[in-house]
Amino acid sequence: MNSIRYKLSGVTCSVLQAANFRPAYIQCRLYSGPTSFPDFFKNPIFRKEEQAKLIEINELSKLAISPVKPPGVSETSSVYYDPLVNKLINHVMKMGKKQLARELVEKAFENVKRIQIERYHLASSAEAKAKIILNPKDILHQAIENCRPLLQLLPIKRGGIVYQVPAPITEKRSLFLAIKWLLDATNDKERTIHFPQQFAWELLDAANNTGKVVKRKQDLHRQCEANRAYAHYRWQ
Amino acid sequence: MLSRNIRLLSRRYSQAVTFRTTESSPYLADGEKGAGKSLTLAHLLHFAHEDGFLIVHIPWVSDWLRRLPRDKEMSNSQSREGFVDIPLDAAAWLLHFKMQNQVLLKTGDLKTSKEYVWSKRESTPAGAPLAELVEHGIARVKYACDVIDVLLKEIKLLSNAKKCKTFVAIDGFNSFFYPLTRLSTPTKKKVAPEEVSLTAPFMEITKNDWTNGAIVVTTDQLAVPEDRQENYLPKYLLYQKGFEHLDPFVPMEIGRYTEREFLSCASYYRDRLWLRGPPELESELKLASACNPYNFMELCAPL
């Protein structure tokens, strides 16, 4: 993965240029901070499909004899493993309360499922029924897809004035912004409505390309378009 | 909603129906948390209703004895010294009884045997229909607990006289035997279940001394507070007193799902569009939930 780093008055941004780019959120770096394992320990391969790929190219035997870090608790080889859901649960978590975060997200998925099943049964024609997505994880993927910004605004100081300059955005950062905006919109809720209910509504709105979060993304894009003139401020 | 093995239930129910030739022994459904005791009871109630039984059903005993004290309205009982009344719950139960037995109360030949005097101006004459008694209890909440007492005595007499067949279903029966309740007298003294006026009628009706009826009772760990929740077996949950009261009973152990039950439940979920995914998932869920129905339901919720 080639990355060209620019340093512009204290602001660093990197531009990714790689031919076969692997999505950043499924990367191997499982532990965010330093761990007790030395650096030469390899990351674990816990998915059956990836192990099968390694077996084909005869790499698995080499990995089996080298030292390997253990996978985290939520990294399973289950059929229902989804790294995006894990990332979402981590973002929802506060004060290290992982169980609570997980329960909230699971309840939100259940609410999404109930609403979608009700819509499915109320839909009259078969085509309308076919359009309704029933799997809550698919709804989540669609929602995140629709909420990702394509550019970001960076504050750059020229001649004493700080300009908001449109700049490219990495995949990781856009994913982070999408999840953060979704959670911000959810926490902006009424006091009597519980988090899973509001989160379910936000997800369904975003998957439908409506709602507060998608509006926020579109506002950002409009702002970037408006500040197009300052784009050259990224380079001196 | 969940489908248990219908054959098992029909067999148990036919046993209940045929057993009551002389005296009816109660059936006791016990099992671990989430095994399906309440739902089994619901299935049995449905069969009883279809067969025209008169249904006496307490959905959950702990609602009366263990709900939060600040939501409760308790008063000293008038007819009995030193007893505590829960008038609103009693009236609500009478309404529930009326709803469940609408058909039988209207068409059946169920009449009271004696006259009951409630106060100087109110009384129910002998030979009045049971429906009138129930209405009186719902309207005059003050006498609701006494009405229940009288009603259950009348039901016993009617069953003995072969006028109607009765199905008694009580969920969380062991709650009647835990030493303390969350209720208190108006002078803030804590009360034991024996001193609550609602326990006596249901104790009477679960005794074995009447015919022409079936009694099904469940004992549940969740009916009592956490310090008495170590075990799910009936001897532990019922204490010596409760065990002797129900003795002899027919124990029904409600176990976890068998292979067939698990597959039928999973295919029901798939049919209702609740569960989706590849078929390998069934074996995963079977291990993760250990075939416990409640755990299986919880695991399937977000999937």
Mean pLDDT for the stretch of residues A31-50: 82
Q: Which of A140, A157, A156 is nearest to A87 (CA)?
A: A140
Asked if the C-beta of B302 comes within 8 angstroms of chain A's C-beta atoms, the answer is yes
Q: Which of A206, A231, A236, A234 is nearest to A12 (CA)?
A: A234
Q: What percent of chain A has pLDDT over 90?
A: 65
pLDDT band at A37 (very low <50, low <70, confident <90, very high): confident
Tens-digit pLDDT profile for residues A87-113: 999 999 999 999 999 999 999 999 999
Q: What pLDDT does B123 receive?
A: 81
Asked if the C-beta of A47 comes within 8 angstroms of chain B's C-beta atoms, the answer is no
Question: Which B positions 227-286 lie with beta carbon below 8 A of chain A?
Answer: 272-274, 276-278, 280-281, 284
Q: What pLDDT does B2 receive?
A: 40
Cβ contacts of B274 on chain A, cutoff 8 Å? 113, 117
Fold of A82-236: Ribosomal Protein S7 (1.10.455)
Under a CB-based contact definition with an 8 Å cutoff, are residues B34 and B221 in contact?
Answer: no
Q: What pLDDT does A19 receive?
A: 40
Contacting residues for A172 by C-beta, under 8 A, at least 6 apart: A24, A25
Candidate from B272, B274, B303 with C-beta closest to A80:
B303
Answer left, alpha or beta for residue B143, where phi above 0 means left and psi between -120 and 50 means alpha: alpha
Residue B301, min C-alpha distance to chain A (Å): 5
Q: What is the DSSP track for B213-272?
A: EEEEEE--GGGS-GGG-S---HHHHHHHHHHHHH-S-EEEE-----HHHHHHHHHHHHHT
Which residues in chain B come in under a pLDDT of 70? 1-24, 69, 71
Question: Which B positions 40-69 lie with beta carbon below 8 A of chain A?
Answer: none
Residue B274, min C-alpha distance to chain A (Å): 8
Q: What pLDDT does A213 receive?
A: 96
Q: What pLDDT does A11 receive?
A: 40
Candidate from A78, A109, A117 with C-beta closest to B284:
A78
Q: Which of B173, B169, B170, B220 is nearest to B34 (CA)?
A: B220
**Around A166, how many Cα atoms within 13 Å sit in the side-chain half-sphere?**
16
| A79/B302 touch (CB, cutoff 8 Å), yes or no | no
Q: What pLDDT does B6 receive?
A: 52
Q: What pLDDT does B19 receive?
A: 41
Q: Which of B130, B114, B143, B118 is nearest to B54 (CA)?
A: B130
Mean pLDDT for the stretch of residues A185-204: 95
Tens-digit pLDDT profile for residues B187-200: 778 888 888 888 88
Cβ contacts of B277 on chain A, cutoff 8 Å? 79-80
| B302/A120 touch (CB, cutoff 8 Å), yes or no | no
Asked if the C-beta of A79 comes within 8 angstroms of chain B's C-beta atoms, the answer is yes
Among the residue ranges A3-12, A20-29, A116-125, B110-119, the one predicted with the least confidence is: A3-12
Q: What ranges do the domains of chain A cover?
A: 82-236
Has residue A32 got a pLDDT over 80?
A: no
Q: What pLDDT does A209 receive?
A: 94
Check: complex ipTM more than 0.90: no
Q: Which residue in chain A has the smallest CA separation from B299?
A: A106
| A120/B284 touch (CB, cutoff 8 Å), yes or no | no
- Residue A169 phi, psi (nearest 5): -130, 145
Candidate from B276, B281, B302 with C-beta closest to A109:
B302
Q: What pLDDT does A13 receive?
A: 36
Q: What pLDDT does A31 receive?
A: 62
Residue with tokens 């080499």: A62
Q: What percent of chain A has pLDDT over 70?
A: 86
Residue A40, min C-alpha distance to chain B (Å): 34
Beta-strand ranges (E) seen in chain B are 27-30, 54-58, 75-76, 84-85, 116-117, 123-124, 166-170, 213-218, 250-253
Q: How far apart are CA B39 and CA B36, in angstroms?
A: 5
Q: Give the bridge partners for B196, in sequence order.
A: B84
